[in-house]
Structure 1
Amino acid sequence: MCGRYALTAMPEEVAESMALAFLEAFPPRYNIAPTQPMLIVTAAERPEPGSNQPTRRPLLVRWGFLPAWAEDPKEFPLLINARAETAHDKSSFRAALRHRRVLIPASGFYEWHRPPKESGARPQAYWIRPKQGGIVSFAGLMETWASAEGSELDTAAVLTTGANATLSPIHSRMPVVIAPEDRDRWLDCKTQEPREVMDLMRPAPDDLFEAIPVSDRVNKVANSHPSLQDPIAPGASAIPAVKAALEKGAANKAAAGDQLSLF
């Protein structure tokens, strides 16, 4: 699943990466959590003045999907993720998958490796980011919920799929990542039916992300600071491959005369 993510790039970088004509300034966000506002990108309904091509549109919505038919948001389960394999069969997501597919720009996301309880080891948090840096776009679904009094609430969920080989030792699920060359097709709900974009809802390439052990301070929603993404000495429950990579990096820096501390 995806329960926390970050968007720390400058608005100008996000606008350029997501092909937005304009994006208002916003602060970096290091710990975006469910029920908080999340930035999404939709396909515009019509071209901008002076342009023959529609441009994408940014929108702030609540992270926590509410189907239009839900009667009371307080009594409805908080849907922060939608399984890509079954979304087309679920009454909550079926209409959004057909009519309201969106992109969710992100600098990376957090995931927790939870060892068996009998091991006695504590869960280990990971900051999972693109190896080459930059911004990725998660596949998302949007819905506008309207109350009986007429007020409206824009909401969204992140689509998830099975984890790739890099991340599967940490967790069995990961967000669906839409590659830049596929973003227009994903957003095109007029000519691309759900069955025609199913091929996009797959695990990201194995070499796209790297996983960095971080402190459990990310567990607390109130914590939102760059230090949340600082690497730490991996605990006993850390994935061996991640632990080995950090140890190798430390050894290389030490051999070069550069001191590194993971504590």
Structure 2
Amino acid sequence: MCGRYALTATPKEISEFFDLADLDDFPARYNIAPTQPILVVMSSERREPGSNLPERRAFLARWGFIPGWVKDPKEFPLLINARSETAIGKASFRAAMRHRRILIPATGFYEWRRPPKETGVKPQAYWVRPKKGGVIAFAGLMETWSSADGSEVDTAAIMTTGANATIRHIHERMPVVIAPEDFERWLDCKTREPREVADLMRPVQEDFFEALPVSDLVNKVSNMGPDLQKPVAVSPPEEEPPKKAKPDSSQMSLF
């Protein structure tokens, strides 16, 4: 987690939420998948006239983090998530945690409840959205990877943490959500070290999200319409023992 998400807010709503300059128009995206370009927000060293807050800038990055020391991305696992519990000390993310913390605008994410294979029951997709609606901010990390020929690509990963009670029956992980009042602290990589923002990398409050079962249309990246988020009726899941936490290498897999 997180392997798919959506950003369906208008550019104006996003600009206001993140205190950005006006964004160019772009379409709603209902099924954002790894390796696609995603919108990210970062602090800039420039400051708005008369403002005490750092100017924030928005730009596109590839969803799939590539550490600067990687020689050939084709031989490196796809890092779409960074585990918040280990990112500070992990070789792949250590530099980004110190110097390139970002926010990733979203309006919700998808998760799959995967019963044991022996049951023969198909995975059930859920659309997880804030109960109050609107835009949210995932914590993220960014790295600009440079190839041998001098070309560069901005890359990003979404930070995850242990799921809260609302999500735990679906999956054991969830994205880290940064509240607006904490944007400045999270994005301030100039004066705040990773240990000073570690308290922000926690599960969001229990009543923040609601999880709605949806059809398997979201399984295909080519499906991109609002019907992906239409709720469907499903049988209530049977209680299962809590899943064991995956090893750190799980952040190198798609889900």
Q: What TM-score do the two structures reach when normalised by structure 2?
A: 0.91
The equivalent residue for 1:73 is 73
SS of the aligned residue for 1:88 comes to coil
Structure having greater relative contact order (Cα 8 Å, sep ≥ 6) = 2
SS of the aligned residue for 1:87 comes to coil
Q: Deviations over 1:39-83 (max 9, x none)?
A: 000001111467564321001000000000000111111000000
Give 1:76's aligned amino acid.
Answer: F
Structure with larger Rg = 1
Q: C-alpha separation between the residues in 1 aligned to 2:136 and 2:238? A: 26
The equivalent residue for 1:259 is none
The equivalent residue for 1:84 is 84
The equivalent residue for 1:144 is 144
The equivalent residue for 1:221 is 221
Counterparts of 1:1-263 in structure 2 under 5 Å?
A: 1-48=1-48, 53-234=53-234, 236=235, 238-239=236-237
Q: C-alpha separation between the residues in 1 aligned to 2:103 and 2:217? A: 28
Give 2:18's aligned amino acid.
Answer: M
Give 2:44's aligned amino acid.
Answer: A
Change (3 A) 1:104 1:71: same
Q: Deviations over 1:151-201 (max 9, x none)?
A: 000000000000001100000000000011111100000111000000000
SS of the aligned residue for 1:12 comes to helix
Identify unmatched segments of 5+ residues in structure 1: 242-263
Give 2:107's aligned amino acid.
Answer: S
Paired residues, number: 239
Q: C-alpha separation between the residues in 2 aligned to 1:217 and 1:178? A: 29
Q: What TM-score do the two structures reach when normalised by structure 1?
A: 0.88
CA contact (8 A) 1:102 1:140 kept: yes
Question: Between the two proteins, what is the percent identity of the paired residues?
Answer: 69
Q: Deviations over 1:81-136 (max 9, x none)?
A: 00000001111100000000000010000000001112221100000000000111
Identify unmatched segments of 5+ residues in structure 2: 240-255
Output the aligned Cα RMSD: 1.3
